[in-house]
A and B are shown apart, each in its own frame.
Chain A
Amino acid sequence: QNTTTKGVVSDAGGEPLMGVSVSIKGIGKGRSTGVDGSYTISTSNPDAILVFSYIGYKTTEEPVNGRTTINVKLATDTKTMNEVVVIGYGTVKRKELTGAISSVKGEELSKVPVQNVASALAGRIAGVQVTAADGTPGSNPSITIRGGGSITQSNEPLYVIDGIPQTNGLGFLDPMDVESMDVLKDASATAIYGARGANGVILVTTKQPKAGKLALSYDMYFGAKDITKTLPVLNPYQYTLLQYEKSLGNATEEAKFLSNYGAFADLQSLYGDKSGVNWQNELFGGTSNSQYHKFGVGGGSKETRFNFFYSHNNDEGIMLNSGSKKNVAKLNVTHNAGKKLRVTGIVNYSDQNTFGVGTRKGNTRFNQLQNVFQFRPTFGLKGTDADLIGMEEDPYLQDDSGNTLQNPIINALSQQRSSANKILNLNAAVDYELFKNITYRGLVGLRTSGTKTKIFNDSRSVNAKRSGGPNGSIAQSDRNDWNYSNTLTYSNVFNQVHKLDVLVGQEQLYSKSENFSASSNRFPDQSLGLDDLSQGVLPGIPTSFSEDEKMFSLFSRANYTYKGRYIFSASLRADGSSKFGSDNKYGYFPSGAFAWRVIEEDFMKKIPVISDLKLRLSVGVAGNNRIPNYLSQALFQSGYYPLNNENVISVGSRTLPNPDLKWEKTRTQNLGLDIGFFNQRIQLTVDAYDNRTTDLLLNADVPNLSGYSTMLINVGATSNRGIEFTLNTVNLKDAGGFSWNTTFNMGFNYNKVISLTSGNQFMYGAASWGGLQEKDYIIRVGGAVGKMFGYKSNGLYQVNEFDYNPTTKVYTLKAGIPFDANNVPKPGFLKLVDQTGDGKINSDDRVVIGNANPNFIGGMNNTFSYKGIDLSVFLNWSYGNDVYNANKLNMSQTNLDYKNAFAYVANRWMSIDAAGQRVTDPVALAALNEGKTIPLYNGAGTGLRLYDQMIEDGSFLRISNVSLGYTLPKAWLSKVKVSGARIYVTGYNLHTFTKYSGYDPEVSTANSTGLTPGVDFGAYPRTRSFVAGVNVSF
């Protein structure tokens, strides 16, 4: 006798919930609720218990007890074992997971007022490192999962947004539209994505439409930002003293100094009390605003429902004339045609316009931030410091027109830099129940995106002044992608104990890019600028370029569960990619996993304190094909050689081709433990992993005598081993209306290079920020990637290390003291350590002097609630990583003309006495400089070399986000026809505890190759922001 039970599942507010899984306990034979929340299920067992589970809600059990109608209200819950986790091409209940997957709710992420949702992910998930190069508005932070196995290729994970794989980050999403993010960390979860899975996969589910009457919502915040600190530079007195010291002995320079700044004897009185111009304050010192508005509407009938929103985010940059504006509009429509067919369509449009000259453009001489640091702090005798601020051109620099410095304010105002990025995504999905246990899903994604980059240098810009007039360019790059997949899922339960799910699928993608640019120079009139390129007297050469890439894939997966206790899963994917050599087009990526739900065993019943216990074991292989196109092919690229003043096209080899290029593969092994105590009030997840990446796609530097500087090769192996902890605790549960939850995560990752190019024990990396010719990173077999390589220093050369000849006034280094031929030692010069002991300082004396890898990273979120008030406090940290302060290294060239220096230089070894006279006498010189550790103004050499004083501890603890909200009581709201309202204030990046002397220790501006993390050169200062916001629904 079968009992048929019907009912409606709704949320606590009575809104029907669609898609709730309804199953019979112990059997798992399930149904989903329809649009109106209704379900029908039949069972032969009168004692059967129905289990209702739905993502984001507490799982509820109801004994049937012969009832034919059971209506259920589900309470929301963010942390339960039964929550549904999105995996590749499907979903699975958390308790049935075999792989290492961490999830975060959109609700948490939306508390962080940022334009890119990736920024909000920082510190939220164990083993996931989010690195923004710096604080540039509108920038895309990069995400690294478990250290990243590739050495020089992208370690960026694959992003799958509502089932559609993409490689271009999360920038096009509205952070408020994210329902949940699931991060797949081990290969048992990622192998299903094959060649693109090795770096992990981040699955994003956006907010889905819910049935019900038409509901409107409005979300907004508004806030203000300022920079967290400025870096001290020499004040006017210290600056003039340095210039004086440099000029001494050179008649031309002495005369220049005298007329610009006055006599030495007057420096103290002229400049001693002046604070001078703080250019950082002029550029970054104000406050700027950010605001966000989102209008949503949604609802629909049982068959057809939709949601739509439009949002606008305006993030003003803290630097003059910079910022980022972003608009997102999205329509999501779902239609059920009968019980077997469901069609979903999503249209997501976004545009983002970032503008501003930024701080990172340009190498050492032209870098914008160096310009800000180095522009002089005082006008001297010829005007007031206020004049200098307003002055388009420093008259002092007109004499020395080779100088590249320029008033930083004019710099920011005179150079138009903007990048407008438009992305349109059209996704459609069809779900059709072919047979009782077989479901077909077809997914099509079309994406068209375009970026327009505009550059205009008006007549005040340093570029126009150096080249002869205003100039500009417009570059347009368009990309069209299509992608489709077909999957069949078979799902059944046999004899009530064997549960089997099988997936087979096929996927194909195509992507084509086209780029075009035009430029024009020397605009006689610049008022129309880029809007009429024809005005330039000297048109530039237009450029164009196009390329495409293709993939074809087949995949399958099987999950088998016995009695809900023993879970086996296996998957295999075959990928074909156009990027590889003709013999290596295909890659095969298998995985297998096993999980044991110990908690289901009988003996566990005796330990009531433990409410969940699961062991997971997995192994699998995933690949990485994130390399540029055409690298396996021998290609010629055009150039020209101008014969008799005409461009005549030439060709030359483009890259050193590698016909054997093949897949980079990462094999991961993961051992995981999920344990819960006290009815899940304490939940701990521990994962240990060992990832080994082989056939590395290594963009190796090769000796230039080859005619090339780099070549992409498959060679060597790296390993990342680590352990991750995630602890969720309910510290107080509704104690007098007060609740307190804590989420804590921490990840330890150890990166090791196992082998390199055949026989090589090491290779070098070059951060290439512009100042160094020696390689500044080293990768050794047995060591980690990210080791900074340079010289150890040992203070300064002291007077007593020289023989002094009073007649010639020449100091000669005593025998036995290491001699530096490339910076011939004098008293007060930087003294590097002679590691080889050969008496000479040269490149052989370099050693590892820093490590960019943290010992551990982590985050902790505390949420408190009392009645309608909620408070969350989020901290994140990193420990043990070094930062390579290239700003400081570049600025250490205090011998250079004009330029200002960091404040610590004031305490340098002096060559002049209190009377402004050059000191040559050994006794006086030694006495004057006792205990000094900063070299003489010209004592660090003319060719920059990396040494240990430029490496700093980058450990930090950041108060990242504090958010206080109040949900207004419904009773008040109903009177004004408002169904829900929350107001909140948030402080973002409130304080960072660190010893690092630069703007921010979380920085990496020169890591395009992946070999050189942790460099701080020209990084845009990060801001602290406060916002206040409202969420209202009607």
Chain B
Amino acid sequence: SAILVMPTSCKKWLEEKPTSYYAADTFFKDANEAKMAVLGIYESMSNNNTYGFYMSLVFDIDSDIAQMDGTGLSNDPRVAAHYAMTPVHIYVAACWQLLYKGIDRANLVIERIPEMDLYKNGTDAQKKDLARLLAEAKFLRGQYYFDLIRLFGDVPMKLKPTAATDDLQLPRTDRELVYDQVFKDMNEAIPDLPWASQKPVDERISKGAAKGMLARAALYRAGYSLRANELMERPAKYKDYYAITLKETKEVMESGEHVLNSSYEQIFRNHCKLILEPKESMYEVALYNLDGGLANSGVIGTWNAPVAADKNPYGRANSFYKTTALFQKSYATGDLRRDVAVGTYQLDVNAAKIEFTGTNDSKWAPGKWRRDWQNTGPKDLNNTDINWTLLRYSDILLMRAEAENEINEGPNSDAYLAVNMVRRRGFGKPLTTVNAAVDLPAGLNKDTFLAKLQTERAYELCFEGTRKSDLIRWNILGPSLRAAQAALKVYRAAYPYVAGTNFVDNKHELYPIPQGERDLNPKLSQNPKY
């Protein structure tokens, strides 16, 4: 056969010119394109696999104050919540995948923005814009790694966007090193982020929120976590991290950017009505779907709300996230937060409230995102557009109180003031007026103050996604679950609650590394006892 020579003209003809995608090489031309890429990082949170459902709701139960409905292990959420999680459970694989997807997108933005011409040579306004976008990418990378540490312990750390030639079989990095990176990213981000008052009202991170999230990361780092040696341990220099929490919360408080909404109830009515209120609800995950579909939506307000019958005007709520009767009953008289936090009723088909009485008190559910506070005529029966709130100002105050208590080996006046403001608001009292009936008693020592804070966090922040993690960092998850179970069985022998029995110490403080991921990466070890 003759040797066939391809004409060079056809090489051009054979070039691919995608029309429905953007070419990555020529992207990042301006701030708008950089913004699109940054929003792509945020997108990982806006999903049922992360904060729309699994991470916000399922991964926060069972705790001493809340649990999954139904004591059997007859579906995935029950298996996950009732401490029967296995390495093949889909929820761990799903959120692992999305968090790392967000991290890879952040890595790309962190690499590309500094290479943009406008980043160095643009106008001041352009430079500022790009600096903010770069800061958001760094913050989000830090946030996602913090989430991974919280759920899985030591995790592989990758700080460059993935290329085809990369070695992807990375071992786990010690969580202390990952925390160092989290702090570094957040600290680099904070200066370039605008305060809430300097930016439009939307879900993008503000300086105050970033400082608050750093304060939280530091608080967790200062606390206990399950290590590869199968022990719950905290770092030797844990007080350094309380100091970070103290510094950041103090600066947020002094900024004047954030205040407590005088009405505890209004906070959640705003959530339900999709109204952003960054003064109190400092940082939210944006959840919204135009046509009620699953994408970018969540089940906040149906899965964790009082039962609402099908076809009632407010829309159905399949209520699976339950509180316990004893938690509801433990609120002090006059604490207005009780009836906001807990719905003791169900909505019938006409949206009439029917109280759950007698042994049906086990069906009491979180009331913060109740159907009857939402807009009528929901788009979907499960998916709502209610944002998941990651950080409220009252958490800043409680973190401040906790950090002051730890650093000073006991509560000082700042600690008292911070927690009392939260309590006074909870009881509907003026924030800055001393109120002996409401305020914590004077003279508490470090341990008794901490114990008060531990319950105060429950009353203030219950069902908002931090209870189980708080109990873990205080190293009291197992004892709390067993105590809750014992108390509930005393309350009523048939009270459905199994977490105390199912929980295995020094195992269930972490989720298992997803087996599918371990299959692909033999360098990943498994967490203890899975």
Contact = CB atoms under 8 A, between A and B. Distances in A.
Given A651-B27, A773-B516, A774-B88, A713 B20 contact: no
B466 to A, nearest CB: 23
B27 A641 contact: no
Nearest to A651: B36
B516 A774 contact: yes
Interface in B417-462: none
B313 interface: no
A745 B372 CA distance: 71
A401 B520 contact: no
B74 A704 contact: no
A653 B24 CA distance: 8
Contacts of A577: 14
A538 B202 CA distance: 24
Contacts, number: 299
A650 interface: yes
A704 B524 CA distance: 12
A660 B166 CA distance: 14
Given A401-B310, A650-B36, A705 B158 contact: yes
Nearest to A707: B104
A640 B43 CA distance: 7
A642 B287 contact: yes
B1 A558 contact: yes
B84 interface: yes
A938 B73 contact: yes
A648 B105 CA distance: 17
B164 A660 contact: yes
Interface in B15-57: 15-16, 18-25, 27, 33, 36-40, 42-43, 46
Contact of B15 (A401, A539, A574, A582): A582
Contacts of B15: 578, 582
Interface string A622-657: 000000011011111111111111111111111011
B383 to A, nearest CB: 8
Interface string B103-141: 111011000000000000000000000000000000000
B19 A547 contact: yes
Given A630-B16, A707-B105, A467 B380 contact: yes
A647 B518 contact: no
A468 interface: yes
A250 B97 contact: no
A706 B13 CA distance: 33
A488 to B, nearest CB: 12
Interface string B263-302: 0000000000010100000000011111111001000000
Interface string B56-88: 000000000000000111110001000010111
A764 B520 CA distance: 7
Contacts of A644: 200-203, 276, 286
Contacts of A646: 288
Given A252-B496, A540-B291, A654 B21 contact: yes
B379 A468 contact: yes
Interface residues of A, number: 107
A972 B382 CA distance: 72
Contacts of B93: 704, 773
A59 interface: no
B22 to A, nearest CB: 4
B385 interface: yes
A980 interface: no
A533 B105 CA distance: 37
B55 to A, nearest CB: 16
B14 A552 contact: yes
Interface in A772-812: 772-775
Contacts of B105: 652-653, 707
Contact of B291 (A519, A544, A941): A519
Interface in B277-335: 286-293, 296, 310, 315-316, 318, 320
Contacts of A547: 18-20
B163 to A, nearest CB: 8
B308 to A, nearest CB: 11
A653 B379 CA distance: 30
B16 A633 contact: yes
A475 to B, nearest CB: 15
B162 interface: yes
- A-B pairs, top 8 by smallest CB distance, nearest first, are A707-B104, A642-B288, A650-B39, A634-B24, A652-B40, A822-B86, A943-B86, A773-B88
Interface of A: 246, 250-253, 398, 401-402, 465-468, 504, 519, 521-522, 538-541, 544-547, 550-552, 554-558, 570-574, 576-579, 582, 585-586, 588, 590, 629-630, 632-654, 656-660, 701-709, 711, 713, 764, 766, 772-775, 821-823, 842-843, 895-897, 938, 941-945
26 contacts: A246-B72, A252-B496, A253-B72, A402-B75, A402-B318, A544-B20, A557-B1, A570-B1, A579-B16, A588-B4, A637-B21, A639-B40, A643-B203, A643-B286, A645-B385, A651-B33, A652-B40, A703-B517, A704-B93, A705-B521, A707-B161, A764-B520, A774-B515, A774-B516, A942-B84, A943-B88
Given A401-B318, A938-B73, 4 more contacts: A557-B1, A643-B204, A706-B100, A895-B73
